[in-house]
Amino acid sequence: MLSHLNSIFVYADLLQSDMLAAVIQDEASQVTQQPASVDKDALDCRFDTSATVDAPAAKDRIEGIILSDMSQDHRARLAFFYTVFGAVSVVGKAQTASDIIPVKIYCSPSMSGLESHLWSPVGRDLVGVGDNLALALRLINDVMALYGQIGAAEVAARLPRMRARAQSARMAQTAVARGVGLEMTRDLVHHQVQRQPYSGFFAVEEHDVSFQKFDGTHSPVVTRAVFVSSDAAIVLPYDPVTDRVLLVEQFRAGPYIRGDRYPWCLEPIAGLIDAGETPAQAALREAKEEAGLDLKGLELISQTYPSPGSSAEFFHLYLGLADLPASTDLIAGLATETEDIRSHIFTFSELMDHIDLGSFSVGPTVLAGLWLARNRDRLRATG
């Protein structure tokens, strides 16, 4: 068994001291570290986890560090982290400057298929996060917030949404000034403490911050709680030839939990953007999944926060050019997500009448409809 081993060889992501500290919830300097290396060929871990790796050869080595003098909690946290990301453990031998030491090594079951690339659990399947420490730390903190609450397998099932939230943060970092005279940047905010009381399909974060006021002084430290989700792509399908739009109807938990008597909503097609996916790709995918539509093109309407005082949600809203059928009673959606979605087709005139009457309870429905009214003549002339 491997439980008797107190020394663990870490490499790749966890060579960053901040990332290691995020996993073990302690300063990396609190554990003994010793530079070492292992033979990369020895990390083909497609065998029973009780097997022993041969002594490392002198070629093709992976550089890392040996961690020792760790508490039981340190070791349990490392095991949880690596298990979430699909690693298995083996007993191996690490070469130090003066000795060969038996260690526990966590590695991918298909390490040998990765050619020359080190296995990087944080960066795997997430474009742009593996090489960005701040975003990798965001993902690690999301994962480790669940340590001791639920099992590694359940956390692993949540990884796609955690990765998507990290990608949303990456997109936010590339935001440019909106051209309306806004000059205050996040550099004027002093961050004190961050807590994550809930992390699941969505997350809740609490931050203690102090921000610069318009008179140049700083505010007292205040606590702000925010609902955190990955970015969403929203698309209103429009047929410029027949001058009609498609809206979908589905049960929505938000209105239901608020107490609304009518928790089924009429709205544009919408869905969360997956890790490694652009907003436009998500809009095209969701149109196919929710309404069976192959859109011919997308027009960007807006990129906005729907409720910036309490939510980090960010909407990429599009109008999608489509050939709509004469009528539809289509019921669609992914069974794996328990979606039950019905399509409705409205003429442009009907859409405007409903907006004037206040019939729609979902903001993007109104926003997309008003944008269409402003751009309809152009779209019909070119469509």
As a whole number of angstroms, the longest Cα–Cα distance in the chain is 81
> Pick the catalytic residue: 115, 290, 299, 337?
337
d(CA 258, CA 252): 10
Q: Give the CA-trace dihedral at 42, 46, 49, 51, to 10 degrees.
A: -50
Q: How many CB atoms lie within 10 A of CB 343?
A: 22
Q: Which residues contact 241 (CB under 8 A, 6 or more apart)?
A: 323, 380, 383
Residue 252 has phi, psi (to 5 degrees) of: -125, 130
Our answer to whether residue 337 is catalytic in this structure is: yes
Q: Left if phi > 0, otherwise alpha if psi is -120 to 50, otherwise beta: which for 339?
A: beta
**Amino acid in position 210:** S
Catalytic residues: 337
